[in-house]
Amino acid sequence: MDAVWAAWQGAGERLVAATGAEDAHLLARCRRGDRQAQEVLVREHQQMVFRIAHHVLGNQEDALDAAQEALVTMLRALPSYRGQALFTTWLYRLTTNVCLMQRRRRQVRTRLLTDQPAADGVADGPNPEDAALSQEVQAAVRQHLARLPAALRTVVVLREIEGLAYQEVAQVVGIPLGTVQSRLSRARELLREALLADERIPKTRR
């Protein structure tokens, strides 16, 4: 089980925040409507945005839609970014909000079409970043993550996969630090119980 958690926690590649003079200049150019600068900014962050969307929403198709919406929203909302938080923290929060709004829209559509509550999505395949794990273990971890309530899943993605500090998670989600800690504790407990009960997890990993 320790190997599962260690590999999973290391799955997210933490991007460097846009704090240097060069990055500040890039943001300033983007605000002025410089299309070339905007393309550079999108290229620098599109993988991170898609990764968050994929973990939060649980499938590639919805993640692609949400990532595109988040990147467009990022460019439109740049004038509102004043530098009080790191640019990546601001973008994490924007992306998370876009994903949660899309998830709510999807649930409404599902209820309208089926008259049943929308089910959480199940991840559609292993992540290359999880290469240290077998395909069965990857599938189990991603499936049980996708089944967590959205509020718990979001903090797990930001903390365990994206590697944000607790305070950064609190800023991104807009909740108190204590709430982040309690949600993480509950999410870890649920995931641990689910993985221990999952026959796809080899006994040697438990």
Domain edges within the chain: 2-205
Q: Is the pLDDT of residue 43 over 90?
A: yes
Mean per-residue pLDDT of the chain: 76
Architecture of the CATH domain 2-205: Orthogonal Bundle (1.10)
Q: What is the pLDDT of residue 199?
A: 78
Give the integer Cα–Cα distance in Å for 150 and 147. 8
Give the integer Cα–Cα distance in Å for 77 and 34. 15
For residue 23, with 0-12 CB atoms within 10 Å meaning exposed, 13-18 middle and 19 or more buried, which class applies? middle
Tell me the three state secondary structure of residue 6: helix
Q: Which range (79-83, 93-97, 119-123, 159-163) has the least confidence?
A: 119-123
When pLDDT is averaged across residues 151-166 and rounded to a whole number, the result is 86
Q: What is the pLDDT of residue 50?
A: 94
pLDDT band at 15 (very low <50, low <70, confident <90, very high): very low
pLDDT digits (tens, 9 = 90+) for 75-90: 999 988 888 788 888 9
pLDDT band at 203 (very low <50, low <70, confident <90, very high): low
Q: Is the pLDDT of residue 93 over 70?
A: yes
The helix (run of H) or strand (run of E) holding residue 105 is: helix 87-114
For residue 82, with 0-12 CB atoms within 10 Å meaning exposed, 13-18 middle and 19 or more buried, which class applies? exposed
- Ranked by mean pLDDT, the top range of 56-60, 104-108, 182-186 is 182-186
